[in-house]
Structures are given as C-alpha cells and as structure tokens.
Structure 1
Amino acid sequence: MRIKMTTRKYNFSAGPALLPEPVLEEAKENLLSLGETGVGVMEHSHRGAAFQEVYTETITRCRELAEISDDYSILFLAGGASTQFYSIPMNFLGEGLTADYIDTGTWSKKAIVEAKRFGNVHVAATSEETNFNCIPTDISYSATPRYVHYTSNNTIVGTQFKTEPTVPKGTPLLCDASSDVFSCPID
C-alpha cells in the first residue's frame, strides 16, 4: 500500500491552520461565482437575496456548531480580539465604573490596558506569579463590577479555561474566545 504524500505546507503556529482542500476549492469557486449567480460572493450586495441566504445559513451553522440557543443573537464584527479589547470597555464601562478582569497572560493584559482608558479596572485574579502557566483559581471580585472579562485560551503558554468562571449574580461575563471559539458549546 502506497501513501500519497501532499506537497502542501503545514502551519503549526497559533492562528490559522491547514484547511482541507475541498473546503479551499469550494471557497475558490464561490469567490468567482456564488452558486449559479455568476457573481462572486464578495461582489454581491449585502441586501440581496443571494447574500442573505449565505448569511442565514452561516447563522444556522454557528448555532448548530456551538449549540447557541435562539435566546441569543449572533453578531459578526470586523477587527478580531484586539478591536474588542477597546470596544468592550468603550461601550460597557464608562468613567467612574469598574470592570473586573481575570489576567491569564498576554491577551488579557492587552485587554486590561485598553479598559483602563475608559474606566477603572480591578484585576480579580491573575496567574502572573507563575508566568501564567495555570488558570487562576483564587478570584476576588470588586463590589459591583460592570462586567467580568476573561480570555478563554492563552495561546502563548497553552492554558485554557475548561469551564466559565462563576461571576457575581447579575454581572455580565464577557469572553475573548477568539482562539477557541467553536471548540465547545457556548452557553
């Protein structure tokens, strides 16, 4: 039995990984013509029926993959995690208010820096003393946090929350899940 070797290169760095060739082929076809429309997916009007079908199917697949109930809306935003680091406090924090952050390394530190531009930040937990080689378990929340923010997966040192942190009743829990979204159900 002969095993066919691929000439494709593998990317083992954090972020994008090798995609199956059939997925790439389908993407290539739809870039040139979405289905039988004769117009590429990126050229369609976002108000047109063809694009709305893509949008609706994407929402449906996201709900199925992450087990997201209809109780929640799905919002697609440009910019990635770094944009969210300032968008979250800009919209939810405000002067004189306090947000609690669980510090697990590089990405949460970046989020903390941005949040300080908009209000008070309380670091409720950190694993900095062990070079972020674990998820902190000793969490001390402020009296009335506007929200609690955590980064679910620290790609730099390889730590990941296995369950969501428990937060004070009525406090929104916000998560940077940009590196592990769809790896588990979202509640």
Structure 2
Amino acid sequence: MQMQQQQTPVDNGVNVDALMGAREVLRDAPAAAQFTWRAECEWMGGVHSRSTVRGFYGLGEEQAHDKIFTVDADHPPQFAASDNGATPVEIVLSALASCLSAGVASVAQNRGIQLHSVKATVEGDMDIYGILGVDADVRNGFSAVRVNFDINADASQDEIAAVVSQSQKRSAVFDIITNPGNVKVTVS
C-alpha cells in the first residue's frame, strides 16, 4: 500500500496569480505601467509635519486608495523638537524594511515557501555635522545602511537567502535609496 503525503498549500497572504496576471497584461501595455505616486505634506509647527496619501496615477488613469493614509514626522527632544512622529530618515528606513519584507512575502509565495515570521532590522549611519552645517564636506544622508532579516520559513537557509536576494532585486525603495533619480524642488 502506498501512502500519499498531503501537501499543505502555501499561504503568505499574497495573490501571486494576480501579480503574474498583471505582469502579463502590462507587458503588452507599457503606457499603463507608468505610475505617478503622490504625497502631500503640511507643516504642523516646529519641525512637525503631516504627510497625506490619497491617490496616484497608474494603469492609464487616476486611482484612489480605499482610505486616506497619514504619516507624522518630527524630531526627538534631543533636537529641540516635540517628538510627534518618527524622523524623516527613520521613515525612509521603515519604507526600506517594508518594501523588502513585502518582496520576501511575494517571492516566497511564488516559490511555494511558507513563511512563519519575517522581521527586518534596519540601521542607517549618519554624521549630523552635514545637516547641521558644521562641516560642508560631510554628506547630509546616510553613510551606510544595514538590513538584517530574521526569517522563519519552511525552507533551507540557502532558499531563504535566495528569496531575500530576489526581493532586493525587485524592491522599489532599495532602488530609490541606492540609485537615486532626479529630484526637482519648486516653489509655487
């Protein structure tokens, strides 16, 4: 008598079929793949600001989120501020961790790997002499960024490393940080 093993389907909460379907549709409609993401930011006082995200342009027309999202940014008391939110640089680190983690879930789902937990720890080193204007030769941004993943999954360490590597290759935020595009600032 032959025993059949019952294989539990992988469910990381990612609809890979929809993602692959979108990829195929957009392959034949390159104009629809052009997106413009938006955020509005309002000064709240001091160095506290509130960004609001409502909609974006994509798939050839204006789109709207199901709800409005807000993100508060501020600085801690050590910078003579009110600490009403994470600092903008912490928000950037959070965005990187979020984008990479979403990629890990998507790639793992596509490869049939069940995730049990994913935790990303991100650190960015910065010499604040640059932003304070103490030394014009010190850059304002990060001198180094480190991302460490702690992943529990039904996979080998090599398979997990490959999932993280593929996530990094497809991460929009990783690309934004490592290959910045042109940024134009204007005043109305």
Query: Which TM-score tier does this pair reach, normalised by the shorter chain?
Result: under 0.3
* Larger proportion of strand: 2
Q: Normalization by structure 1: what TM-score?
A: 0.22
* Larger proportion of helix: 2
Q: Normalization by structure 2: what TM-score?
A: 0.22
